[in-house]
């Protein structure tokens, strides 16, 4: 009998969580949730341990709501929560695969709680240009463009404050993923201590679907630049943010990234 490891994937809606999940889960050692009667096979809807309704995961709302920032010492930080999560999720995962990938956008704000519940868990958090995210979610959310960008900036500022608390976390950018999928996903496999596995290398850049009709303000651009994002959907190179307790894994991740074009 083996005890599965969890990889939690999160990010704002329309950031590329579904795409990255599909690529990572193509590995034979990774099980993901399939054919579930919930939006995008998201595990947050398939469990009863952590309250989750349509109000809890609203696009461009949840990531800055203090009530949904779940950390160490939260009332849900207890063994009962873990046991209920595992019970509810168990039927959706292939029991013969050592890794379980659970993808939900709200994982962006649950990393620190999940690390307490699953001490060997790891996290992949995906980031996409704020102008593209704002344009993509505008059809769902009735808020001005610059308000949506501000939400993106505040959400990722919170992410940066959470990162030092996490033992094994990796941030990837959507733009790097579609430009060099083998390198980015190869880095994720190295991060998970898995042998390399070939993935599709002809991904379409969805950012091209959004005309540059709105741009970040100069103040917003100053905040977004730390992620390599400039007005007009422009992207500059930045080093990936990742942490892992083992030097050998850190070296393998760096090697996988520098082997491709996403430097």
Q: What are the angstrom distances between the C-alpha of 263 and each of 39, 43, 249? A: 34, 32, 18
Q: What is the pLDDT of residue 103?
A: 97
pLDDT value, residue 263: 40
Residue 52 is predicted with a pLDDT of 81
> What are the sequence ranges of the domains in the chain?
5-258
8 A C-beta contact, residue 17 and residue 10: yes
The encoded tokens of residue 105 equal: 């956008």
> 122-127 and 234-235: which strand pairing?
unpaired
In this prediction, residue 260 carries a pLDDT of 54
User: Alpha-carbon distance 86 to 111, whole Å?
Assistant: 16
Give pLDDT < 70 ranges for the chain. Answer: 1-2, 54-55, 259-263
User: What whole-number distance in Å separates Cα of residue 91 and Cα of residue 87?
Assistant: 8
Whole-model pTM? 0.94
* Distance in angstroms (rounded) separating the CA atoms of residues 253 and 80: 34
188 backbone dihedrals φ, ψ, rounded to 5°: -65, -45
- State the pLDDT at residue 2: 63
Q: What is the pLDDT of residue 257?
A: 75
- pLDDT number for residue 181: 94
Backbone Cα Rg of the chain: 18
Q: What class is the 5-258 domain?
A: alpha beta
């Amino acid at each position: 009998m083996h005890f599965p490891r969890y990889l939690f994937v999160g990010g704002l809606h329309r950031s590329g969580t579904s795409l990255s999940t599909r690529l990572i889960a193509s590995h034979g050692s990774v099980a993901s949730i399939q054919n579930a009667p919930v939006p995008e096979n998201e595990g947050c809807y398939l469990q009863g341990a952590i309250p989750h309704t349509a109000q809890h995961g609203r696009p461009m709302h949840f990531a800055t709501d203090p009530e949904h920032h779940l950390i160490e010492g939260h009332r849900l930080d207890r063994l009962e929560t873990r046991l209920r999560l595992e019970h509810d999720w168990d039927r959706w995962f292939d029991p013969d695969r050592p890794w379980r990938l659970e993808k939900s956008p709200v994982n962006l704000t649950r990393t620190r709680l999940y690390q307490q519940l699953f001490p060997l868990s790891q996290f992949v958090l995906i980031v996409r240009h704020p102008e593209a995210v704002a344009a993509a979610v505008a059809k769902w959310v009735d808020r001005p463009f610059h308000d949506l960008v501000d939400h993106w900036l505040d959400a990722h500022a919170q992410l940066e404050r959470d990162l030092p608390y996490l033992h094994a976390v990796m941030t990837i950018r959507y733009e790097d993923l579609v430009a060099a999928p083998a390198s980015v996903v190869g880095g994720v496999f190295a991060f998970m201590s898995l042998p390399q596995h070939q993935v599709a290398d002809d991904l379409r850049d969805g950012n091209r679907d959004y005309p540059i009709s709105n741009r970040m303000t100069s103040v917003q651009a100053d905040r977004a630049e730390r992620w390599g994002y400039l007005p007009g959907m422009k992207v500059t190179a930045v080093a990936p943010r990742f942490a892992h307790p083992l030097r050998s894994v850190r070296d393998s991740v760096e090697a996988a990234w520098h082997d491709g074009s996403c430097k």
